[in-house]
């Protein structure tokens, strides 16, 4: 509420469990946002686009981190935050530190390494280093295929990310192939108003846009926008 004052003002809206869409969405959020109370707070801040507040929180948590697992997680989340701010070299440093900590005690194919490989790939993709991005995405995807069931949302995210690199390289048919694999899994595993479904629709629409199929692109963009209006706060970056 004021500088150097650790108080928060929260605006609440009354609702109840009779809203089936809200119930499905909140149950899904509970599955996605894990860890301690403060870790959950940080992840939620990043989800809704409050990266500056998340950075303050994670820096404080890092000072009091009690073990390597905790430190690896916080470094990863700081990488997420720096990437969202466009500070790519700083993001890579945080991700590599997280990877370094994990590799001290974990085998190379451990499932917990996949998110960090994928995160490093995302930064390289944002920097335009597409071959490097594909290299890290493929490392991540290989681990996920071994460790997860075929309809797991994390596999959908992996397909989506690989599709994005192909789109950025101008390989539109390959991009559609991976985006549609991602969407198929999300339609099975996520509630119909989940923001990740909007991401898939938006990405497919973008490919059609790039290919000059504008009516198809507009149809799919509308699907993405409808989901975002339901599931995100009105000032979220994805609605701009």
* CA-based nearest residue to 55, from 89, 88, 84, 97: 84
The pLDDT-based confidence of 19 (bands split at 50, 70, 90) is: confident
* 123 in Cβ contact with 83 (< 8 Å): yes
Token output for 42? 């940080």
Reduced to 3 states, what is the DSSP secondary structure of residue 48?
coil
Q: What is the pLDDT of residue 32?
A: 61
Q: Which range in 8-17, 109-118, 174-183 is most confidently predicted, on average pLDDT?
A: 174-183
pLDDT at 37: 63
Indicate if the pLDDT at residue 97 is higher than 60: yes
- Label residue 160 by pLDDT band (50, 70, 90): very high
Q: Does the pTM of the predicted model rise above 0.85? A: no
Task: Give pLDDT tens digits for 33-83.
Answer: 555 665 666 667 666 667 777 777 777 777 777 788 888 888 888 888 888
pLDDT, tens digit, 9 for 90 and up, residues 181-222: 999 999 998 888 888 899 899 999 999 999 999 999 999 999
Tell me the sheet residues that pair with 239.
Answer: none
Q: Name the residue ranges covered by the structural domains of the chain.
A: 151-239
The pair of three-digit structure tokens given for residue 57, joined into one six-digit string:
């929180």
Both structure tokens of 229: 């209006």
Tell me the pLDDT tens digit for each residue of 107-159.
888 998 999 999 999 999 999 999 999 999 999 999 999 999 999 988 998 99
Distance of alpha carbon 120 from the chain centroid: 12
84 touches 72 (CB < 8 A): no
Domain range 151-239, CATH architecture: Alpha Horseshoe (1.25)
Q: What's the pLDDT score for residue 36?
A: 60
For residue 87, give the 3-state DSSP assignment.
coil
| Tokens of residue 24, six digits | 């499905």
pLDDT at 30: 63
3-state secondary structure of 153: helix
Q: How many whole angstroms separate alpha carbon 51 and alpha carbon 46?
A: 5
């Amino acid at each position: 509420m004021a500088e150097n004052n650790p108080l928060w003002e929260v605006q609440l809206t009354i609702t109840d469990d009779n809203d089936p869409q809200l119930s499905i969405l909140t149950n899904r959020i509970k599955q996605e946002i894990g860890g301690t109370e403060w870790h959950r707070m940080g992840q939620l801040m990043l989800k809704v686009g409050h990266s500056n507040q998340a950075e303050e929180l994670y820096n404080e948590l890092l000072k009091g981190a009690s073990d390597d697992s905790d430190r690896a997680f916080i470094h990863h989340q700081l990488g997420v935050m720096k990437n969202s701010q466009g500070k790519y070299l700083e993001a890579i440093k945080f991700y590599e530190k997280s990877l370094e900590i994990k590799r001290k005690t974990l085998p190379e194919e451990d499932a917990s390494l996949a998110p960090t490989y994928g995160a490093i790939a995302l930064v390289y993709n944002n920097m335009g280093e597409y071959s490097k991005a594909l290299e890290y995405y493929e490392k991540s995807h290989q681990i996920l295929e071994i460790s997860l069931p075929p309809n797991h949302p994390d596999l959908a995210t992996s397909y989506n990310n690989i599709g994005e690199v192909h789109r950025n390289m101008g390989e539109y048919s390959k991009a559609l192939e991976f985006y549609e694999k991602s969407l198929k899994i999300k339609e099975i595993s996520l509630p119909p108003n989940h923001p990740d479904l909007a991401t898939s629709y938006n990405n497919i629409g973008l490919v059609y846009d790039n290919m000059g199929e504008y009516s198809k692109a507009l149809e799919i963009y509308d699907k993405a926008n409808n989901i975002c209006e339901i599931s995100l706060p009105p000032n979220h970056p994805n609605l701009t």
